[in-house]
Structure 1
């Protein structure tokens, strides 16, 4: 058996632009933050929980409370829903993502998981808008589960190991993502990485990249 774990934004769903815009607006409206870095790849942890934690630490020398987190998530979700209502093509699937996800979930010898730096509620909403069904996935982890992406991925691996009652060798685990932070997390964990070919990964020449999901199966043999 092998584990294939997917990121969501930019990997399964074409939602990075609308997500960043609504996330920034939610930070401003929920917490009154202004003048912060909105290129979120520059944060120590490029996850929703990691970014908010860092901003709170820099401004108030504390992390956010659970109540503040929940207030932010609800505001963020309202903004995403409004954006989708105004223009539903802002939340599309990456071409063939739903098809490959379904195929892998039904393929013998493969178990599929999700691990995203986004909140559970926003991630599931974007997947639903993109028409991607994830019910057959073995496990999923979100920004609520950890601040560091490596720990979010690690949480999914632990869930999958518990489900299958095995301790999967790291060499048999693949993470599919679209950002440098995804690659760095796999390096920290010691698992394999397959990148979605885009500008964010153009500086990484010695990694496996796919430009079309039909190519993914070629790297699973």
Structure 2
């Protein structure tokens, strides 16, 4: 992937949210854990990085089933989503990853296609993006509300972007994320990948990620 060769209007950028656009990983995991406890799930596996799927919907179902040895009741995911938002409101304002708002604004101004694919649930995602004043459209957002696996909601986001931008295909699709799981998902789906942040930078490089940037401001400078 050469930045000078990128035809941006024919490239789709798929953004992760937590740790990529919003500086929210630590506080969000606290909100998830407190929400599980509030819903009566006391024995929680908090080793979230080693989950089979790094998603809210999987975290809830996995911990519910390991606590109660039965299928999760219908509507429980909605309760979990509402409780996460309540817990988030007690923690404080979410801040953007440097350059996030500016990059999304630039993409909108230059008609560059983009979408959002997140392991979080919709309402918490809206709250984080709103707090950071990052523009989004619900028709460009796919979450773990519909797919437990990252591959599932990334593909969903791509399909939603095709509809939103009235495109049958894109010449190139680039996944932008901060986690090793984001890179692995991109590989599984044969997508290009850009790593953001220093938290997992060494691991991403070791796994084979070729393009990693400290923040989105640095990425934007490289891109344009």
Superposition TM-score, scaled by structure 1 size: 0.87
Q: Retained in 1: the 8 A contact 2:23–2:97? A: yes
Tell me the equivalent position of 2:6: none
Gap runs ≥5 in structure 2: 1-9
Counterpart selection for 1:94 from 93, 97, 116? 97
Tell me the equivalent position of 2:169: 168
Tell me the equivalent position of 1:148: 149
Q: Retained in 1: the 8 A contact 2:11–2:173? A: yes
> Structure 1 69/138 Cα, relative in aligned 2: closer, same or farther at 3 Å?
closer
Aligned pair count reads 212
Cα distance in 2 between the residues matched to 1:164 and 1:32: 42
Q: Does 1:75 align with 2:76?
A: no
Tell me the equivalent position of 1:45: 53
Shift of the alpha carbon at 1:188?
Answer: 0.9
Cα distance in 1 between the residues matched to 2:19 and 2:222: 20
Tell me the equivalent position of 1:139: 140
Tell me the equivalent position of 1:14: 23
Tell me the equivalent position of 1:33: 42
Q: Retained in 1: the 8 A contact 2:97–2:215? A: no
Q: Retained in 2: the 8 A contact 1:3–1:173? A: yes
Structure 1 vs Structure 2 CA RMSD: 2.0
1:101-116 matches, within 5 Å, as: 101-108=104-111, 110-116=112-118
Cα distance in 1 between the residues matched to 2:195 and 2:48: 19
Tell me the equivalent position of 1:122: 124
Q: Retained in 1: the 8 A contact 2:35–2:83? A: yes
Shift of the alpha carbon at 1:107?
Answer: 1.4
Superposition TM-score, scaled by structure 2 size: 0.86
Q: Does 1:212 align with 2:220?
A: no
Cα distance in 1 between the residues matched to 2:188 and 2:115: 19
Cα distance in 1 between the residues matched to 2:202 and 2:179: 10
Name the SS of the counterpart of 1:114 in structure 2.
strand
Gap runs ≥5 in structure 1: none
